[in-house]
Structure 1
Amino acid sequence: MADEAEIRHAKGTGWRFVYQTLHDEILSLVLEPGALLDETTLAERFGMSRSPIREALIRLSGDDLVVTLSNRSTIVAPIDVLSFPKYVEALDVAQRMNTRLAAELRSEADLKAIAARQAEFEAAVKNGNHLLMSEANKQFHMAIASAGRNPYLAAFYERLLNQGRRMLHLHFDYIERSNDSYLLTDEHSEMLEAIRARDVERADALAHAHTRQFRDNFIEFMKENYSQNFSFVGK
């Protein structure tokens, strides 16, 4: 619930504040998949009219984070578990291709950018904030994509990374509980070194292993926690 300071801030910035607040709450699973987003309730929460609320929900829909049902009610987008294998398949292809291209085409400036994003990710891991971790993880991989010089592959990769951020939060939770959080920073560092060495085949192999680790940990999380009150559904 927004406090008085947040409400005053919201009134001054309109839909952007509502959008960013709900965006972060959805990604961090504070708002669970399938949760109803009622415009009237949200307008009361943020102390504003329904127009900026509606605009924020439209923007969130464009991010695939909310869904408008046939009765015009809006819910937090469910996580489609049954399509997860297809999602990971696409992510693997995009991750490997962008990382291969980065190893082949990277410049010194690209290496500095990737290293900076990796340092930010390591700082987020030490902080333990999953929202910061998922954003830093995305920026690390997008720095790699930028080094690959293919805007079409990069845009496809970014969309997949965005779609997977809620699942990544569950992934973070699992590896922290299993004491394997070091794998995150170590794998990123190894990918950076392969790109630095222009070792295309090693970069490819590391990117593939990185996807497999995410896949396997998410599946293990689901096996342990399937009874939780999340709306994991398949289409």
Structure 2
Amino acid sequence: MDAEIATPDRKSSLELALRRRILTMQLPPGAVLDEVALSEEFGLSRPPVRELMRQMAGEGYIELETNRAARVSSMSYNSLRDFFLLAPMIYITANKLAAENRTKAELDVLKEIQRAFRKAVDDCDVEGRVFHNDQFHRQIGEMAHNVYVVPSLRRLQIDHARIGKIFYQHPNTPRMQEELELASHQHDEMIEVIERRDADASGELARLHIELSRRNMAMYAAPEGLQTPTL
């Protein structure tokens, strides 16, 4: 009985760990996922691990192919281009809908996530910045309450986090710290306009935020001489 009760918690712990490891690139694109090792690490039998992998494959974290081990979803320069072409549309729409449809409880969660993101920035915690930034925008997606927007936003966020990790892993410089402070300030502004249900202002902040990401990430993610994507 105790094992049965513990299984959902263990499965949730595995899901959170896999998401964090993939988003922060502890598990890089294309990495093989060892089903047996994960089962042993989290005290689970193989069936719930396989079930979780199918779920995460549907969300875009993992690639599953017949007769091959599960792998972390791949990422290429085409991914970079596709991301920056589509991201503004999805993020702007999610922000607008969040301002229109949010609840007070959801807004309180967003504020708590922002406190964690701000602490990660102050502490120069690279993985924390990546993970809590992902949580911040994921929460805005949930606040949009739209069955079409949320899946698209979640898929975009996987590569957003991984591209961001490429940017964040470089040595901290005064300019990088300034950009991180600006990104954090934009988060604060998003909370303010969503709280007052200003959809247009929320959408505009999303546009400015993704443009800041595009400038910074493209600078560090693309080798010298490679043409970076434009919007």
Q: Is residue 2:168 matched to residue 1:172? A: yes
1:189-200 equivalences under 5 Å are: 189-200=188-199
Aligned counterpart, 2:229? none
* Pick aligned residue for 2:149 from 153, 161, 181: 153
Deviations 1:67-97 (A, max 9, x none): 2456524433221321322222322112111
Q: Let me know the Cα RMSD of the aligned residues.
A: 3.7
**Deviating more after overlay: 83-92 vs 140-149:** 140-149
C-alpha distance in 2 between matches for 1:199 and 1:88: 25
Answer whether contact 2:88 2:206 (CA < 8 A) is retained: yes
Aligned counterpart, 2:3? none
* Structure 2 unmatched runs, 5+: 1-5, 226-231
Q: Is residue 2:28 matched to residue 1:35? A: no
Q: What code does the residue aligned with 1:65 have?
A: Y
Q: What code does the residue aligned with 1:153 have?
A: V
1:158 to 1:69, Cα distance in 2 relative to 1, 3 A: closer
Q: What code does the residue aligned with 1:189 have?
A: D
* Structure 1 unmatched runs, 5+: 1-11, 227-235
1:220 to 1:50, Cα distance in 2 relative to 1, 3 A: same
Deviations 1:26-77 (A, max 9, x none): 3222222223345567678889886666555445433433324565244332
Aligned counterpart, 2:113? 117
1:191 to 1:56, Cα distance in 2 relative to 1, 3 A: closer
| Identity between Structure 1 and Structure 2 (%) | 27
Larger Rg: 1
> Taking structure 2 as the reference length, what is the TM-score of the superposition?
0.70
Answer whether contact 2:23 2:131 (CA < 8 A) is retained: no
| Secondary structure of the structure 1 residue equivalent to 2:169 | helix
C-alpha distance in 2 between matches for 1:35 and 1:93: 30
Q: What code does the residue aligned with 1:61 have?
A: A
C-alpha distance in 2 between matches for 1:175 and 1:194: 33
Residue 211 of structure 1 deviates from its aligned partner by 0.9
Count of residue correspondences: 216
Answer whether contact 2:120 2:128 (CA < 8 A) is retained: yes
C-alpha distance in 1 between matches for 2:110 and 2:36: 43
Aligned counterpart, 2:203? 204
> Taking structure 1 as the reference length, what is the TM-score of the superposition?
0.69
Q: What code does the residue aligned with 2:157 have?
A: L
Deviations 1:186-224 (A, max 9, x none): 110122223334443332221101111112222111235
C-alpha distance in 2 between matches for 1:56 and 1:111: 29
Aligned counterpart, 2:71? 75
1:188 to 1:176, Cα distance in 2 relative to 1, 3 A: farther
| Secondary structure of the structure 1 residue equivalent to 2:187 | helix
1:35 to 1:102, Cα distance in 2 relative to 1, 3 A: closer
